[in-house]
Chain A
Amino acid sequence: MLEAKDLSKSFGGLKALQQVTLRAEFGHSVGIIGPNGAGKTTLFNLLTGEIKADSGHVSLDGMSIDTEPIHERVKLGLARTYQVPRPFAEISVRENIRVSMMEDNLKYMLRVAWDDTGEQEIAESVGFTAQQLDQLPSELAMGDLRKLELARTLATNPKVLLLDEVFAGLTYGEIEHISNLLIERRKTHGTTYLIVSHDLKALQPLVDDVLVIHGGNVIKKGTFDEVVSDPQVQNAYLGTG
C-alpha cells in the first residue's frame, strides 16, 4: 500500500502542492486528474524521491520511505514513467529494457548478457515486434517511445506503478493494448497504479478512485463517476460548468 500524508512543496514563492494526502491499497488503482500545472507531476516527483518534500511523509507497505533514495524506492517496488519519455537515446530498445532489469549489485552486473528472453518478453508484452528490439529510440515514433517507457518501468517489477500520461500520443488501438496489459497485470500481480491522464475515456476502465488536483490542492476524491459529475470539478478542470 502506498500512502502519502500531507505532502507540500513550494518552488520559490509558488506553492506547487499543499498538504496532499493519498492512499492506494495493493491492487487498487487511482486516477489523478487536474489542469496543466496543477501539481500532478510534482506529486509523482515527491513520491519517487526525485525532489524532496518541504513537509509530509510517504510510506510504502506501512514502511516510511522518506529517507530512501530514488533507486531504493524503485527496488522496493515503486516505479514511474515520465511524461516526456526519457529513453537512453544511443542504446537499443533491448538494452534500454535491460538497464531496468539489472539487479543492483556489481557482482550481477559484471556478467555478460548471454540471453535476452526476459527483455524480449517484456518488449512483446507492451507490443513491440521482434525487429524493433534492435532499433534505437531515435528511430521510434511517439507511440513506441511510450511503450518503451512502460516496458522499462515494468522491467523493474513494480508493486506500485506511477504512470504519467502514458496514453498521450497513442492511437486507439495502442491505448486499448496498453490498457488491457495494465488490467491483466493488475489481476496477475496485484499491481497498484497511480495514473495521471488527460484522457478520461482511457482512464475510466482502469481506475477505482479519482483524485482531482487543482492549484496544488486535492479538491475532490471519489469514484470516477462521482468525480466527473461533480460541478466543482467540471468548473475547475473540464471548464464546462
Chain B
Amino acid sequence: MLQILVQGLVLSGFYALIAVGFTLIFSVGRVLNLAYGSFLMLGGYIYYQGAQVVGLPKFPSLIIAGIAGAVFGMLVYRILVKRLSGNVVAVEIATLILAVVVQAAVVLVFSPSPKSMWPLVPGVLRIGDASVTYNIFIAAVVSWILLGGLFLFTGMTHMGRAIRAVSMDSKGAVISGIDPERVNILTWAISGTFGAIAGVFLATYTQLDPNMWVTPLIIAVAVVIVGGIGSILGSLVAAHIIGMLETITTSLIAAELRGVATMLIIIAVLLVAPKGLFGKSEL
C-alpha cells in the first residue's frame, strides 16, 4: 500500500513537470504543441550524447540538455508557429508533422535501435517498507524544484507577471504595454527546457528510442485534458490523479495496461466534462 503511494507520488511529480511544460504553451499562445514529445526525446538524446558518449559529468550534461531544449523551443516558435499564428488547427498539424520529422532525424543521427541509459543516481531509496529508485525520486524532486521555480518566477518577476497577464487576457496585456512576442518566445523556451529535462528522466526511467516522443505527448495530453487545457493548477492535480491511477493499474492489475487506464480516463473526462476539472477555455 505504502509502496503504491510512494511510487505514485513520485511518478505524479514527474508527470506534473511533463504536463506543465505542455500546458504552458497553450495557456499563453492558445495553441497545442504536438511536437512537445520531441522536446523530451531531444533532451534525452542530448544528455545521452553528453554523458555517455562524450563522457561529460552528469550534471553539466543535464544543463546542456535543458539549454538545447530552450533553443529548440524558441526555434519551433519562430520558424513554425509564428508563421501559422491565428490558425490553431494548422499549428497542431504542423507540430505533429514536425514530431515525425524529428523522429526521422533522430533515427538518422542515433540509429533506430533503443539505447539504455544509466540512472542519474544509482541505488534504491527506502521509505518504511516501500522503495523507489533514487533515479525516479530525484526526477520528482527536480520536477518540484522546477515547478516551484516557475511559480516564483511568474509571481515575482516582471517578465513572469507578463506571462501570467498574457495567459489571462492576451489583448488586454498588449494594451498595457506587454510585448507578446517576447512573452511567447520565453514561454517556448521554458517549455523546451522543462520538456528536455523531463526527457532525460524519462529516458533513464525507460529507455531512449526514436518512438519515445509519443508516450509523453499522450501523458501530457491526458493530464491536460483531465485538468483542463491551460490550467496549471489543474495540471498539477490531474498529474497526481493519472500518476496514481497508473501506479495502481500497473502494480495491482497488469503492467501492460498502464496506458489503457490513462486512455479510459481521457475519454471519460472528455465525455463528462469536456473542459476538464479546472478548464477555463474550450478549443
Quick check: do A and B touch in the complex, using CB within 8 A? no
Q: Footprint of A on B, CB under 8 Å?
A: none
Mark A residues whose CB is within 8 Å of B. none
